[in-house]
Structure 1
Amino acid sequence: MKIQYCSDLHLEFGENSQFLQQSPLIPVADTLVLAGDITYLRSDFFENKFFDYVSDNWEQTFWIPGNHEYYCGIDMDKYQLSTPVAIRKNVFLLNNTSIKINGIFLIFSTLWSKVEKRYANYIQDNISDFECIVSGKQKLDVGTFNKLHKESLAFLRTETERLKSETKVIVTHHLPSNQCNAIEFLGSKLNSAFCTELSGFVEKTNAQAWIYGHSHRNMPEVKIGKTRLVTNQLGYVQHNEHKTFARDKVIEIVE
């Protein structure tokens, strides 16, 4: 089974939308995975023509929210998403959910990272999530952020144990290992807002693949145990982060 994947399309920005209109994703698989930061979850996001395009060109598309989906003023509590939301008949927004396709399980979770306590104040003052995201009618804080991480990780642990003998692929927005991270970010005080070192857990999952996004850096494939960690991020076109993006990136999974 081939899975096409990408993330960080950031359709909320005109430059990104224009780029993808002029250079659209090329359908090369039946299943498309969108690993977060696709567009804002505003009240009108259903109307975005991008979803018409993916509906017409893939048999099924699965989109997990990243962090930027919530930058539009909505309360993120509105979108718990344990039950998939059908944007089109074959395009689904979902989180902390597993789907079985052709004998292969796709396990989806934003996997919010875990902010290190020693850098908590610095991160809260310097990461836009804490200014732009609302949770429970209040601005997101580190405590809630880490609670979301705990919930995401608990879901992934439960699902991978439940499906330990099954063929599976994990899809997250945040990075699950420092091995996925760009050298320029390692050692940064902000790093734990993007990445959590879970290499031991990644290996235990025995997933065939782990698709991630968030960093706007398309790192080479990494293998931890039996698991291939892959990414394909557009990033901010206005900052020339799109140069290594592939419109036809796929990974093949063997049942």
Structure 2
Amino acid sequence: MVKIQYASDLHLEFMENTLYLETHPLQPVADILVLAGDTGYLGDEGFVKHPFWDWASEDFKEVIVIPGNHEFYLGYDLGQLHDGWCMEIRHNIKCYYNAVIHLSDDTDLIVSTLWGYIEPQDAFSTERRVNDFYRIKDCGVVINSERFNQEHAKCRAFIEKAVSESQAKHIVVATHHVPSFQLVSPDFKGSPINGAFTAELGNFIAYSRIDYWIYGHSHRNIDRIIGNTQCVSNQLGYVSHGESESFDSKKCINLML
């Protein structure tokens, strides 16, 4: 059996979140931990020095980290990333962009930020209201909705290709952004900025052989089955906003080999 513990949106860049995790730490129930984005700022020199990583390195055999959007908020340029990009945080903790990790002979983990998809009619409002379009740079230039959508297309193509080429019995996909509007909270239904958070891959998921899809970003934990795929989330969110109530310190998935 392959057991994967997962969480996202820990937001270690905020003191309230760091303090929360000190008093309500993750409870290790698996060898593998997947962190599906928004763990902290890659551009902050304190990111890799954060004590959370020392703890995670000791308590898990392997930790797999996916960049979210916040990872790029403090000067880490999106242009530095490419398919297969990997940054070592500790000897057993690595951050990946568009990568396939073979967890066992029978299990592939496909990881990607994914990014959302912004419809043209929502571009102006989204660029004005979402911090990504003030704080994320690509080759030194602040991104716009067009560049955002280009990165979405790149990630989506990577995921679809990786799924189609996988020979593993079990496939798990982990992304930061929400992979279907079926997973959007009623709190955000109809919002013109949903494209910055969500992409519609519902049909792809429904007809795929993906066992689980782990996602984050929305700060709303909604689990739902699409086709035969269990879409699951375990986001801490902003502790200062009271978003931690549905966070589970030992949420995991089990794959029978």
Percent of aligned pairs with the same residue?
A: 40
- Spell out structure 1 runs of 4+ moving beyond 6 A: none
CA distance in 1, matches of 2:98, 2:201: 17
**Where does residue 194 of structure 1 map in the other structure?**
197
Question: Structure 1 length normalisation: TM-score?
Answer: 0.96
**Where does residue 118 of structure 2 map in the other structure?**
115
8 Å CA contact 1:81–1:93 kept in 2: the answer is no
Q: How many residues align?
A: 254
- Find 1:155's aligned residue among 151, 158, 175: 158
Deviations 1:92-146 (A, max 9, x none): 1001000111221000000011101111111011111001111111111111100
Displacement after TM superposition at 1:196 (Å)? 1.3
CA distance in 1, matches of 2:103, 2:200: 29
RMSD: 1.2
Deviations 1:139-175 (A, max 9, x none): 1111110010000000011101101663110000001
**Where does residue 170 of structure 2 map in the other structure?**
167
Question: Structure 2 length normalisation: TM-score?
Answer: 0.96
Select between 157-166 and 177-186 the one with higher mean Cα deviation.
157-166
- Find 2:48's aligned residue among 30, 46, 59: 46
1:156 alignment partner, SS class: helix
Output the amino acid matched with 2:80.
K
How does 1:4-83 map onto structure 2 within 5 Å?
Answer: 4-41=5-42, 42-80=44-82, 82-83=84-85
Structure 2: 5+ residue stretches without partners? none
2:205 alignment partner, SS class: helix
1:170 alignment partner, SS class: strand
Does the C-alpha gap of structure 1 residues 248 and 135 become closer, same or farther in structure 2, counting only changes over 3 Å?
Answer: same
Deviations 1:162-216 (A, max 9, x none): 0166311000000111111101211110111111121101122211100000000
Displacement after TM superposition at 1:79 (Å)? 3.7
Displacement after TM superposition at 1:73 (Å)? 2.3
CA distance in 1, matches of 2:233, 2:36: 9
CA distance in 1, matches of 2:98, 2:69: 15
